Structure 1
Amino acid sequence: MREIFKKTEVKRYMPYLNEIYDIWEMVKRSFNDNEKMPESVTELWFGELEIISFENCEIVFSTNSDFKQKIIKENYLSKIDEKFSGFLGFDVKSSIVFNGTPTDAQQITKQFMGKSQQKKAEEKTESEIKIDPQFYNNYNFEYTFDSFIVGNSNKFAHAACLAVAERPARDYNPLFIYGPSGLGKTHLMSAVVNEIKRKKADLKVVYIKGEDFTNQLIESLAKQEMHIFREKYRNCDILLIDDIQFIAGKNSTQEEFFHTFNALYEDHKQIILSSDRPPKDIQTLEERLKTRFEWGLIADIQPPDLELRIAIIKKKAEQISIELSDEVLNFIAENLRSNIRQIEGAVKKLRALSFINGNQITIEVAKGCLSELLGGAEPVNVTVDKIFTAVYKKYGIKKEDVIGQKRNKEIANARHICIYLIRTITEMSYPNIGKIFNRDHTTILASIDKIQKKVYMDPVFNIEMMEVTKEVTGV
């Protein structure tokens, strides 16, 4: 009886190829999280691997580098099998085939090196070459403008990145994007890289994380190879640094980046930076860098509203071929509010559960499966009174004045802010908000639109709204 069950299970729940693609992303992340492999190294070895088939529990990868084929076979393939098997619940074997013109370690390294270093590399044998991940652009080729879902919370940053990709160093230089982790900053920066490589392939693009920039600087100093470091960063056409806040407090890194910034800016080269906060709020960042970061355009990304979260869930479900009822879809959107990466992870987790266990994704299954992501707690209950209290603390306008009929400038402004916050934080319907303020639907919409525009246009006011929101929600 047990044997029959096993056969049925494998036959019925064998995943589709597009699902294997998704699990491959989970496998790569597992190398980062569980094996402590730096993302730059993961991308170096696995970034260009393509899955070309999945049949009879065997995954076939393709690479255009015979050198990478050899290294992956010898060092990583068994671990990849182990991780795939763990995610799928049955044994998987993988192989890797070479698909391209034979190459060697020197040629792989050469594409990322200056001419002075190429000559040295060519003199070494394959066994002597060590590929340095600092020469690898670790953007994500799947992150494009087409795959980025635009909503009210991110449309300004999206438009700015699109403009920069079309006209580098012409409109917004530097471009500084900020917002909490997991909201799409890396997606937009990668989209810029992909767009430029598609339309302006001759431009030299360098994309690096702030922490890796520091690590590479330290390594270059130790090896007395600062000329190589500076050649890479000061002679590119576009420099993108993700999580630039990591250089704060590191005097040597800030000194080096100050001169790198100046060299690129004076040469009319595009600079794009991202951070989890605006420049002025990055503690221990030198004032001269804060000033330069504010020379161009500052664009923020806010947590997605309900409509955008639903759109993201629908898109992800469509990509990985999973059907979610409106009840389940709304449950995810209403409970996972702040992080797009977490929302997408939840949909993937439900899909994995569906094809491994054969469960239909009911609301009960979703609650059980996502309990860890939800932390076992109910969503934060933000009351309207908390918003009135926070606005009073910030602006000194009492609740009775806000909901009353007075129309002087200060009270009207506080009223608009309260309406905006009630809508964005609690996602209460427009008619219900109207009942609180004894105003009609169109008046409520006008208030929200007024504050929304001010948030996009006024960085100082935008920060005020973030502070009040944090006072209300605690996050």
Structure 2
Amino acid sequence: MSPISIAQPSAAQVSVAPISPARARAYTDAFRSRLVETIGVYRFDLWFEHGTSITLSSQSAEIQAANPYARDWILKNFRSQLDAVTAEILGVDATCTVSVPVREAAVATTTPRVTARPERNDAPQAPGLDSATDDPRRRQQSPRGARTQTLRRLEDFVVGESNRLAFAASNQIGDGSPEAPPILFIHGECGVGKTHLIQGLCRRRAERSPRQVIKYVTAEQFTNEYIAAVRDGSLDEFRKRLRRVDLLAIDDVHFLANKTATQAEFLHTIDAIDLSGARIALVSDEHPRHIRRFNQSLVSRFLSGMVVKVDRPDRGTRVELVRRLSRERGLDLTTAGEDSVAGRCTGSIREIEGAITRLGALVELDGVRGQIGPGTVERLLGDDHVTSTGCAPVRLGHILESVCERMRVTREELLGSGRHARTVVARSLVAHLARELTTHSYPEIARSLGRDTHSAVHTAAKRLRLMIDGDMRVNGDGESVRELVDQLRHDIARGSRARPG
């Protein structure tokens, strides 16, 4: 594929092969979805949502940035990702160009570069919710504010067993309840809905208490603003903005790890806000105790509040997410089709969003009509649920380790002759997953389990298939066997990517 290029602004447009509007939208939706998965939601929202347009034809992707600075940043930081996504969606011969509108380019070439160097560093600045710095007259005209409308809503959050406690605590802070914890610390893996919760509680608070001062930023933005304030000698102004609030919400707190000075400033900020009686909401990928190189005084402050984990969505929550997202896109999935998508996307909500976006684009491209069943899902999405987490080969040893950890059995029990129910199911899981995720034969799998013949392994794999088809549970009332297989498949694929070979 030709390398990505900077499109020179011109009034004349290059002609392209004709393409229907519906197909162009499908291409563009698929491109945007894949780019989100590749670079992350935060960076996509920052550089490709506000003022940047994405348009695809049959053989090219056109990225039009808001200004030359944004164009240069995109080229510098996302060149290889844009190349890869273009090749994946349109083919290896397709091209990708990054341009700016003619008017913006003209201004950039005629304006003297007296103040071209920004006072801040080149780190991106995310648009946040900051009532403290809004003009009071503007706030009076639009109480909620334009920024509030870009935040997600708690009403749209899908509640399940994996997130129920975090959702309840977020509602308390959003409603301004006196029972709300002074500090709420939400942690969990990427893509499980933590940012949705923190944005939702900020939006709820802003809508119900429009006169209150609410500050929502990422930890990266907090760090950048602090560094700029130190450099510019404006620490007092920075502290006024951060400390004179009714609610401070900070996303990705783990970003502060190993930043000693910023952590010290953050600690003083938390203490000042706590004394005022305001609330603090924080989000991190890790529990406070597990963030490396973190100020222990900060960890102590976090633990003094409410620390709650958001787990991966359970199957029921995933099915509801699939149902809601597919309806929003106008996709008519059967119950079995919804279950098929939910079974493929076990790791995070973002996986489900990406799968539904790709499914919608492929349905449009293939001209599928009527209800979408599991057969259509499998045909259109193929092996995305296996390959999306990486293409590193899966080792039999890693399957054994993952099953032992999940089933809470030792390796000696797994390889022994014991017939405890959990051990028997564990052996069946190894046999089933080894056949699905590796190229090993039954005799090879049998040897890895310490068996002389492969007939027992073959029988174990058949037994597990019957348990899946019968929607059975471990020990009768435990975890669903089907859900157990889906979660193990995700863990094994992710672990193989983390330590290939």
TM-score, normalised to structure 2, is 0.58
Distance apart, 1:356 and its partner CA: 3.6
Alignment equivalent of 1:373, drawn from 370, 388, 398: 388
Post-superposition CA distance 1:400-420 (Å, at most 9, x none): 79759xxxxxxxxx9xxx9xx
For residue 362 of structure 2, what is the aligned residue in structure 1? 353
Q: Aligned in 2, Cα 1:162/1:391: closer, same or farther, shift over 3 Å?
A: farther
Q: 1:243 is aligned with what amino acid?
A: D
Contact 1:328 1:363 in 2 (8 A): no
CA contact (8 A) 1:208 1:240 kept: yes
The answer to whether residue 269 in structure 2 is matched with residue 251 in structure 1 is: no
Matches within 5 A, 1:33-182: 33=39, 41-42=46-47, 46=50, 72=66, 136-137=127-128, 141=150, 143-167=152-176, 170-182=179-191
1:187 and 1:46 mapped to 2: Cα distance? Answer: 19
TM-superposed deviation, 1:322 = 2.0
Q: What's the secondary structure of 2:330's corresponding residue?
A: coil
Q: 1:357 to 1:402 in 2, by over 3 A?
A: closer
Is 2:192–2:311's contact at 8 Å kept on the other side of the alignment? yes
Aligned partners of 1:176 and 1:298 also within 8 Å: yes
Q: Amino acid of the residue matched to residue 253 of structure 2?
A: I
Cα distance in structure 1, aligned partners of 2:227 and 2:334: 52
Structure 1 residue 270 displacement after superposition:
0.7
Please say if 1:208 is aligned against 2:223.
Answer: no
- Residue 100 of structure 1 is matched in structure 2 by none
Tell me which amino acid in the other structure corresponds to 2:404: K
CA contact (8 A) 1:392 1:399 kept: no
Partner of 1:225: 234
Counterpart in the other structure of 2:279: 270
TM-score normalised to the size of structure 1? 0.61
**Which residue identity lines up with residue 234 of structure 1 in the other structure?**
R
Confirm or deny that 1:197 pairs with 2:187. Answer: no
Q: CA deviation at 1:284?
A: 1.3
Q: Distance in 2 between matches of 1:298 and 1:156?
A: 10
CA distances 1:70-124 after superposition (whole Å, capped 9, x unpaired): x9478779x9xxx9xx779999xx999xxxxxxxxxxxxxxxxxxxxxxxxxxxx
1:283 Cα deviation after fit: 1.7
Which of 386, 408, 417 aligns to 1:390? It is 408
Segments of 5+ residues of structure 1 without an aligned counterpart are 1-5, 52-70, 97-126, 405-413, 449-465
Deviation per residue, 1:435-465 (Å, 9 max, x gap): x64xxx5xx26xx7xxxxxxxxxxxxxxxxx
Evaluate the alpha carbon distance shift between residue 328 and residue 382 of structure 1 in structure 2; reply closer, same or farther with a 3 A threshold: farther
1:364 aligns with 2:379: yes
Find the aligned partners of 2:494 and 2:33 in 1 and give their Cα distance: 31
CA contact (8 A) 2:344 2:385 kept: no
Partner of 1:410: none
Please give the root-mean-square deviation of Cα atoms over the aligned residues, in Å: 5.3
Structure 2: distance between partners of 1:372 and 1:470: 13
Q: CA deviation at 1:355?
A: 2.2
Tell me how far apart the structure 2 counterparts of residues 374 and 390 of structure 1 sit (CA, whole Å): 25
What is the SS of the residue equivalent to 1:294? helix
CA distance in 2, matches of 1:370, 1:358: 23
Q: Which moved more, 1:380-389 or 1:200-209?
A: 380-389
Question: Which residue is equivalent to 2:134?
Answer: none
Q: For residues 335 and 377 of structure 1, what CA distance do their matches in structure 2 show? A: 18
Q: Of residues 301, 307, 317 in structure 1, which corresponds to 2:316?
A: 307
Q: Is the 8 A contact 1:184 1:340 kept in 2?
A: yes
One-letter amino acid matched to 1:272: A
Partner in structure 1 of residue 331 of structure 2: 322
